[in-house]
Structure 1
Amino acid sequence: MEEKNTQQDQEEVVEDAEQELVTEEPSTETEEGTVANEEVEQLQKEKNDLQDRLLRVQAEYDNFRKRTQKEKEANLKYKSQSIVTELLPVLDNFERALQVEIEDKAAKGVVEGLEMVYRQLKTVLNNEGVTEIETENQMFDPNLHQAVMQVEEEGYDSNQIVETLQKGYQLKDRVVRPAMVKVNQ
């Protein structure tokens, strides 16, 4: 009988050990599963962060590229502004010289030559996109005109340009020099 009890005891010990193994294995798998899930979640978060950073860097690069392209276009569009600014006083002097009345036949030939050079200069400036700012019968616009004087004249509306004292010019859509004008009050 003792052998039976010993055998039974051994069987019970084996069963208990098996049960302990069975109950321990799932808990080990659960702990390993939890650890694995946490690692997966952390890696997923890192991946999402990296994707977000990548998208932001790409967007910043696209914005930089577009901005530099616009700057290049603006530089090309207004590349001749500095030379135009320096040529405007020359144009003014030509206009003043052509207003002088000449009676001498020899001097008239010189004036005709000046007129030819003046027309050629105006053509070159027009080809570069330089246009004269309209002032005649226009309303005063502080973006285009510089009011030098205010007068009270009959026949003009309030804030209407009465007289142009110095012509103004634009290079394409940018004002190079505003027109100096007299404005009616």
Structure 2
Amino acid sequence: MTDRAKEDKDQGLEQTETVENPVNEGDENKESASNVSNETDQAEGAESDKLARENQELKDKYVRLYSEFENFRRRTAKERLELVNTASKDLMQEVLPILDDFERSFKAENASDPEEEQKQAGSKLIYNKLLRVLTAKGLQPMEDLVGKDFDAEYHEAITQIPAPSEELKGKIVDVVEKGYTMAGKVVRFAKVVIGN
């Protein structure tokens, strides 16, 4: 081969090398671009996962806070209602001995004298009016306790006596002092005698 042919051959190789190099460089550029896009996609995926977790945490916090507020609202409404229902409990406890005194006076007075009968009628009128006002405010007397089972949540046993009959064993035989409730809660326990 002549020198010229050799030079052309060498140049052809160089040209093919230079042609091959740009192709290789393009592939490297494509790979680096795809690597960059993969990294970007991964970063965006991680960012969206992070945002989704934060969003879920915020939703959970909101739901808990809302639930706590609802529980607080219900509890305060219930307490307010109980307070309204039992606000006059102290006053009722102060007035109950007056009712007891009226009842004792009715038992003690002799109604055979016409003057005494008129006095007693006036006292009964005042007693009934007072009792009507108190029941309108929610005070309820515990009625018909004789013969019922003793319940420590409503009754206070002051003594036990031998039961007059077998069916009164463990039951209330006598009521010494009336008990009263208000809005389902005991204002004063009934003082009772139990048969044993």
Q: With structure 1 as the length reference, what TM-score do the two structures score?
A: 0.90
2:142 to 127, 133, 143: 133
Deviation at 1:106, TM superposition (A): 4.6
- 1:1-185 matches, within 5 Å, as 1=8, 2-102=10-110, 106-134=115-143, 135-155=145-165, 156-185=167-196
Deviation string 1:68-101 (CA, Å, 9 cap, x unpaired) is: 1111222222232121111101111111222232
Give me the identity figure in percent: 28
Distance in 2, matches of 1:101 and 1:24, equals: 114
Q: Does the 8 Å CA contact 2:159/2:192 hold for their aligned counterparts?
A: yes
Distance in 1, matches of 2:40 and 2:109, equals: 106
Distance in 1, matches of 2:183 and 2:62, equals: 40
Q: With structure 2 as the length reference, what TM-score do the two structures score?
A: 0.86
Distance in 1, matches of 2:11 and 2:151, equals: 120
Distance in 2, matches of 1:141 and 1:164, equals: 13
Q: Structure 2: 5+ residue runs without aligned partners? A: 1-7
Q: Does the 8 Å CA contact 2:147/2:168 hold for their aligned counterparts?
A: no
Describe the SS at the equivalent of 1:99: helix
Q: Does the 8 Å CA contact 2:163/2:169 hold for their aligned counterparts?
A: no
Deviation at 1:180, TM superposition (A): 0.6
**RMSD over aligned Cα, in angstroms?**
1.8
Deviation at 1:174, TM superposition (A): 1.1
Q: Structure 1: 5+ residue runs without aligned partners? A: none
Which amino acid in the other structure matches residue 85 of structure 2?
A: K
Q: Highest Rg: 1 or 2?
A: 2
Which amino acid in the other structure matches residue 123 of structure 1?
A: R
Deviation at 1:107, TM superposition (A): 4.8
How many pairs are equivalent? 185
Distance in 1, matches of 2:183 and 2:25, equals: 94
Deviation at 1:104, TM superposition (A): 5.7
Deviation string 1:3-51 (CA, Å, 9 cap, x unpaired) is: 4333323212211211111121111111121111111111111111111
- Name the stretch that deviates more: 155-164 or 57-66: 155-164
Describe the SS at the equivalent of 2:100: helix
Deviation string 1:117-148 (CA, Å, 9 cap, x unpaired) is: 11111111121222211312222111111110
Distance in 1, matches of 2:49 and 2:163, equals: 82
